[in-house]
Amino acid sequence: MEKTVGFEALSPATFLDRSASVYPDKPAIIYGNTSYTYAEFAERVRRLSSALAQVGVGYGDKVAFLVPNVPTMLEGHYGPMRLGAVLVAINIRLSAREIAYILNHSGAKVLIFDSEYAPVIRDLRDEVPGISTFVQAVDTTPRAEDIEGPDYEQFLASAPDGDPYVRLRSEMDSVAIDYTSGTTGMPKGVEYSGRGAYLSALGEALEIGMNWRSVYLWTLPMFHCNGWCYTWAVTAVGGTHVCLRRIDAEEVFGIISDRGVSHMCAAPTVLTALYSSPHAGEGKLSGVRIMTAGAPPAPQVIRTIEAMGANVLHTYGLTETYGPITVSAEQPEWDSMDVHERANLKARQGVPFILAEPGLRVVDEGMSDVPRDGETMGEVVMRGNMVMSGYYNDPEATAKAFAGGWFHSGDLGVWHKDGYIELRDRAKDVIISGGENISSQEVEKVIMEHPSVMEVCIVAVPDEKWGEVPKAFVVRNDGADVSGEEIIEFCRERIAHFKAPKHVEFGELPKTATGKIQKYILREKEWAGHDRRIN
């Protein structure tokens, strides 16, 4: 679109420009004993963009970061963008093979990595010929002297004077590529446009209720969907980012108390870890507004966290939707409800975000809307400003995902008469036992009500008579001694007998870096040697 007086390409880079102008002396970033004002934050970002330009990064080039939730990663969300370059924030828990694939697939020219991950970089550096510059961010681990390249602070100090800032040529140009978890093969690169990132960030800020007084604690990885776009949202309102390198419940509660934390985001498994900690207690989350997503939370999780003083905002989305795109928007009448009834309503995935319209539908195989009866299942599909531009360098996967003019989530759900959607399962997680469909999430929610259960995952396992049946993988609460037979009977008392698990196994659950339980790992183990395709 031709530039006019009434038009400017949307870009999250402008959020920092404004906050540095309006709140120059206000704390922008706090990390341990380190604090940067908005003026200092902006100057460090200017130096980063200038240093990147000096080593040859230009418009459309890719800059990769392998960094945890420290100030360097926040700066990475602005420095490349000011050059028209594209941020590739990489999951810090990936293997050298996976990281090398992402670097090569994205075509990254520069890799900025935390020195803790130097052993991984040593393993892959000969496999990534496109990386011309390696930069080490030294925080808790000494610099690796055998990896050539400056450390991050030296890199910033080397930046020439002047500002290489360029505006986006088009707001539909990419500002970030976020790679999916790759559970069924190598990850796909999800392209975020300047427009999508800008509007998604504002939607996040509006839905969670942030302003310049807000203090946001980073308990969600910044590499995951760019921290659900809160890397940009907090800056947009002039709030304060409180960085946290890794999650420790005692430290989280201490920071909330000491820093006056008002907002945070976390997957349900992180919330479980917090309330299961010996440091948990009444009032420990007082006044904190928590957005949870990443997996459907059991009503029990919502009740328990809110009993600690928090207000839980349940949202739903995918990497392909910039993180959350729906919210279980609270209604006035919910305030007078019983806590169990209110938690059950909050556990639904809800309605489209502000700025997400036309948002979403629940459709049958012919792309017709399912009845809003809360019973008929269909696939959740989305479109609009908060849906990705496409998969980077993968037109075939993009075309498949956008079939019929909507993004296909692969999630199955129902549509309630009040317009709220509720997920019932991933298409690949539905258990078909003797011809009957069983929602793994329905069974999981029931088991989570057992007082001895901390976490649970339900998957289909082979059965000679029924083809497949549910199996429960359970993590007990500390000190609990519940048996598998008790878990099965607990379910049979509450749901149809055929839905109850036929087997129960106790132990830890495999998880991604963002706290999602990796069902496919459990499924593959159970189906090894059987004639069935594992999704």
Within a domain: residue 135? yes
Residue 20 corresponds to which tokens in the numbers above? Answer: 């540095």
Cα 385 from Cα 232, distance rounded (Å): 16
Same structural domain for residues 281 and 402? Answer: yes
Look up the CATH number of the domain holding residue 54.
3.40.50.12780
Of 426, 446, 476, the residue at which a domain comes to its end is 426
> CB of 287 within 8 A of CB of 309?
yes
Pairing of strands 467-476, 34-37: unpaired
Q: What is the pLDDT at residue 366?
A: 95
DSSP string covering 441-474: HHHHHHHTTSTTEEEEEEEEEEETTTEEEEEEEE
> CB of 320 within 8 A of CB of 407?
yes
Of 426, 444, 470, the residue at which a domain comes to its end is 426
Residue 531 corresponds to which tokens in the numbers above? Answer: 């004639």
Phi then psi dihedrals of residue 276, to 5 deg: -85, -10
Of 173, 194, 215, the residue at which a domain comes to its end is 194
Pairing of strands 133-137, 431-433: unpaired
Between vectors from CA 488 to CA 482 and to CA 490, what angle results, nearest 5°? Answer: 75
Within a domain: residue 336? yes
Same structural domain for residues 100 and 147? Answer: yes
Same structural domain for residues 42 and 139? Answer: yes
Within a domain: residue 329? yes
Same structural domain for residues 400 and 450? Answer: no
Same structural domain for residues 455 and 414? Answer: no
Cα 348 from Cα 282, distance rounded (Å): 25
Give the residue among 103, 85, 77 at the shortest CA–CA distance from 173: 85
Pairing of strands 311-318, 289-292: parallel
Look up the CATH number of the domain holding residue 463.
3.30.300.30
Q: What is the pLDDT at residue 495?
A: 84
Same structural domain for residues 377 and 503? Answer: no
Same structural domain for residues 375 and 436? Answer: no
Residue 413 corresponds to which tokens in the numbers above? Answer: 């759900």
Within a domain: residue 188? yes
DSSP string covering 403-430: GGGSEEEEEEEEE-TTS-EEEEEEGGG-
Same structural domain for residues 400 and 299? Answer: yes
Same structural domain for residues 303 and 393? Answer: yes
Q: Is pTM beyond 0.95 here?
A: no
Instruction: Note the pLDDT tens digit of each residue in 322-331.
Output: 999 999 999 9
Counting every residue written for the chain, the total comes to: 535
Within a domain: residue 403? yes
> CB of 49 within 8 A of CB of 164?
yes
Cα 223 from Cα 176, distance rounded (Å): 11
Please write down the long-range contacts of 29-34, taking CB distance under 8 Å and 24 or more positions apart.
29/71, 29/74, 29/240, 29/241, 29/243, 30/240, 30/241, 30/242, 30/243, 30/259, 31/70, 31/71, 31/242, 31/243, 34/71
Same structural domain for residues 99 and 189? Answer: yes
Same structural domain for residues 278 and 393? Answer: yes
Cα 454 from Cα 479, distance rounded (Å): 11
Cα 180 from Cα 377, distance rounded (Å): 26
Within a domain: residue 312? yes
The shares of helix, strand and coil residues in the chain, as percent rounded to the nearest 5, are 35, 25, 40
Residues of the chain short of pLDDT 70, as ranges, are: 1-3, 182-185, 435, 513-514, 531-535
Q: How crowded is the C-beta side of 128, counted as CA atoms within 13 Å?
A: 27
Provide CB contacts within 8 A for 496, sequence distance 6+: none
Pairing of strands 358-363, 378-384: antiparallel
- What is the per-residue burial (b if ≥16 Cβ within 10 Å, else e) of 309-326? ebbbbbbbbbbbbbbbbb
Within a domain: residue 239? no
Range of the domain at 45: 38-194
Within a domain: residue 347? yes
Residue 453 corresponds to which tokens in the numbers above? Answer: 């259960």
Total domains present in the chain? 3
Q: What is the pLDDT at residue 2?
A: 59
Same structural domain for residues 378 and 492? Answer: no
CA–chain centroid gap for 79, Å, is: 22
Query: Is the omega angle on the peptide bond into residue 358 within 30 degrees of 0, that is, cis?
Result: yes
